[in-house]
């Protein structure tokens, strides 16, 4: 009997040490950066926060960035909630971060306590845009004024911890990126940084955040989402294929689909956001860029 007990204990020790040796904590170097406020940065930051962060952090029940449960994470790894991004001293995150720590988190995915947070990596975001987002988060806009409340705390179970440890890949910290001025380059930048390619490629697990075009099935659609009634919504093929992609949409129709959620043949369902805060010029740039992506014949069915 004793022997079996020993084998069991040895097995347990190996399993536990494997889990703990998977790296989920990283060091955060000291970088120097202080956000520069201006009315222009505030406006830009607000538009970006509503186009990018709102999808996961904005709560429509109170119209504030107090966080939401993240349903698209498989339940098998545990429960995931986004954070309260208001300026609450007790429950909000921004008051406990320096500007430099926020910038580092957004670029690399590494939080100030060294945790790797994989949901919002923006390694290629321009310095100007990161600055704008931070200025907005620190502002008096009603959506970020203090709300002393928590929606829920993220808890990974043992499978989740193992999975996170195995997949944790912080990205390099690359500052000094400028906003592109060329139309097509701007479109590519927005598809990357607003995050269109996250939902419109083959799967969340095969995204390449550093080199988006190298993601599997880049922009050819197919990710399935479940809506509140349990119906499947499939993200569209946004490559310029005439039959199965957006090759059939005019620039005007594309603009209406992206900003108002109205495609020529149907009303678009969530989780496709209504990108009200993107300028027409920016959506046109996205359209011009998508026309340069290789067309892929991939019929997606919703
Ligand atoms: C795809 C969903 C998603 C998007 C988009 C997103 N976040 Fe998050 N964010 C999360 C989740 C989930 C957590 C909490 C993770 C956890 O608890 O481990 C989080 C946590 C945070 C935290 C807390 C870090 C900490 O130390 O706990 C900050 C700050 C943050 N997000 C800022 C932002 C900003 C700013 C944006 C927009 C530029 C953004 N997030 C976009 C999902 C997202
Ligand atoms: C959170 C996931 C998500 C993000 C982010 C996202 N989309 Fe979508 N998108 C979808 C889904 C799902 C659909 C399908 C909706 C439906 O069929 O009702 C869709 C549909 C579309 C359509 C309709 C095409 C057609 O005629 O079938 C366009 C155009 C579009 N998205 C453009 C964009 C652009 C541009 C961006 C970035 C600025 C973007 N999407 C970001 C999920 C997303």
pLDDT tens digits for 207-253? 999 999 999 999 999 999 987 788 899 999 999 999 999 999 999 99
CA of 253 to the centre of ligand 1 (A): 32
Q: Is residue 30 part of a domain?
A: no
Q: Which of 167, 201, 224 is the last residue of a domain?
A: 167
Q: Are residue 118 and residue 222 in the same domain, yes or no?
A: no
Q: Which of 167, 199, 218 is the last residue of a domain?
A: 167
Contact status, residue 235 vs residue 225, Cβ threshold 8 Å: yes
Q: What is the pLDDT of residue 19?
A: 54
Q: Which atom of ligand 2 is nearest to the CA of 278?
A: 38
Q: Is residue 11 part of a domain?
A: no
Q: What is the pLDDT of residue 175?
A: 92
Q: Are residue 155 and residue 236 in the same domain, yes or no?
A: no
| Residues 6 or more apart in contact with residue 293 via CB below 8 angstroms | 218, 219, 238, 239, 240
Q: Which of 167, 201, 234 is the last residue of a domain?
A: 167
Q: Are residue 156 and residue 189 in the same domain, yes or no?
A: no
Chain centroid offset of residue 174 CA? 18
Chain centroid offset of residue 256 CA? 23
Q: Are residue 187 and residue 259 in the same domain, yes or no?
A: yes
Low-confidence ranges of the chain (pLDDT < 50): none
Ligand 2 atom 17, closest CA: 268
CA of 191 to the centre of ligand 2 (A): 11
Q: Is residue 296 part of a domain?
A: no
CA of 300 to the centre of ligand 2 (A): 12
Q: Are residue 152 and residue 194 in the same domain, yes or no?
A: no
Q: Is residue 198 part of a domain?
A: yes
Question: To test ligand 1's pocket by mutation, which of 48, 57, 121, 205 has the most ligand atoms within 8 angstroms of CB?
Answer: 57
Residues in the ligand 1 pocket, defined by CB under 6 Å: 52-53, 55-57, 70, 80, 82-83, 85, 93, 105-106, 111-112, 117, 119-120, 133, 154
CA of 236 to the centre of ligand 2 (A): 6
Q: Are residue 92 and residue 157 in the same domain, yes or no?
A: yes
Q: Are residue 153 and residue 192 in the same domain, yes or no?
A: no
Q: What is the pLDDT of residue 167?
A: 85
Q: What is the pLDDT of residue 259?
A: 98
Q: What is the pLDDT of residue 183?
A: 98
Q: Is residue 48 part of a domain?
A: yes
Q: What is the pLDDT of residue 22?
A: 62
Q: Are residue 284 and residue 193 in the same domain, yes or no?
A: yes
The Cα 157–Cα 79 span in angstroms is: 8
Cβ 106 under 6 angstroms from ligand 2: no
| Ligand that comes closest to the CA of residue 245 | 2
Q: Are residue 94 and residue 155 in the same domain, yes or no?
A: yes
- Structural domain of residue 145, as residue ranges? 39-167
Place of tokens 């079996």: 4
The Cα 196–Cα 210 span in angstroms is: 14
Instruction: Report residue 271: phi and psi, to 5°.
Output: -85, 10
Q: Are residue 138 and residue 232 in the same domain, yes or no?
A: no
Looking at the 3D structure of the chain, how many domains does it have?
2
The Cα 73–Cα 184 span in angstroms is: 33
Q: Is residue 29 part of a domain?
A: no
Q: Is residue 114 part of a domain?
A: yes
Asked if omega into 59 is within 30° of 0 (cis), the reply is no
Q: What is the pLDDT of residue 14?
A: 56
Q: Are residue 91 and residue 143 in the same domain, yes or no?
A: yes
Q: What is the pLDDT of residue 11?
A: 63
Burial class (CB in 10 A: 0-12, 13-18, 19+), 10: exposed
CA of 48 to the centre of ligand 1 (A): 14
| Ligand that comes closest to the CA of residue 287 | 2
Q: Is residue 194 part of a domain?
A: yes
- Compute the C-alpha angle 76/77/81, nearest 5°: 115
Cβ 258 under 6 angstroms from ligand 2: yes
In this structure, what token pair is assigned to residue 153?
């705390």
CATH number at residue 133: 1.10.760
Q: Are residue 151 and residue 190 in the same domain, yes or no?
A: no
The Cα 259–Cα 287 span in angstroms is: 13
Ligand 2 atom 20, closest CA: 236
Q: What is the pLDDT of residue 29?
A: 82
């Amino acid at each position: 009997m004793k022997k079996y007990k020993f084998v069991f204990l040895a097995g347990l020790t190996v399993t536990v040490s494997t889990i703990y040796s998977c790296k989920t904590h990283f060091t955060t170097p000291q970088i120097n950066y202080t956000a520069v406020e201006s009315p222009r940065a505030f406006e830009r930051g607000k538009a970006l926060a509503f186009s990018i962060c709102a999808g996961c952090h904005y709560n429509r029940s109170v119209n504030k960035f107090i966080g939401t449960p993240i349903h698209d994470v498989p339940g098998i790894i545990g429960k995931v909630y986004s954070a309260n991004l208001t300026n609450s001293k007790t429950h909000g995150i921004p008051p406990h971060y320096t500007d430099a720590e926020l910038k580092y988190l957004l670029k690399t995915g590494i939080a100030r306590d060294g945790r790797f947070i994989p949901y919002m990596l923006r390694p290629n975001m321009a310095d100007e845009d990161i600055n704008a987002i931070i200025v907005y988060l620190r502002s008096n806009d009603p959506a970020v004024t203090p709300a002393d409340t928590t929606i829920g705390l993220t808890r990974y179970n043992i499978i989740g911890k193992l999975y996170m440890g195995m997949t944790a890949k912080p990205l390099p910290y690359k500052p000094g990126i400028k906003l592109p001025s060329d139309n097509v380059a701007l479109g590519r930048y927005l598809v990357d940084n607003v995050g269109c390619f996250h939902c419109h490629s083959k799967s969340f697990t095969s995204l390449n955040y550093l080199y988006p075009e190298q993601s599997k099935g880049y922009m050819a659609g197919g990710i399935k989402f479940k809506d509140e009634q349990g119906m499947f919504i499939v993200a569209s093929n946004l490559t310029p294929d005439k039959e199965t992609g957006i090759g059939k949409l005019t620039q005007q129709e594309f603009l209406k689909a992206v900003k108002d959620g109205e495609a020529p043949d149907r009303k678009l369902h969530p989780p496709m956001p209504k990108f009200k805060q993107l300028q027409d010029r920016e959506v046109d740039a996205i359209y011009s860029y998508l026309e340069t992506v290789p067309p892929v014949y991939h019929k997606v069915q919703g």
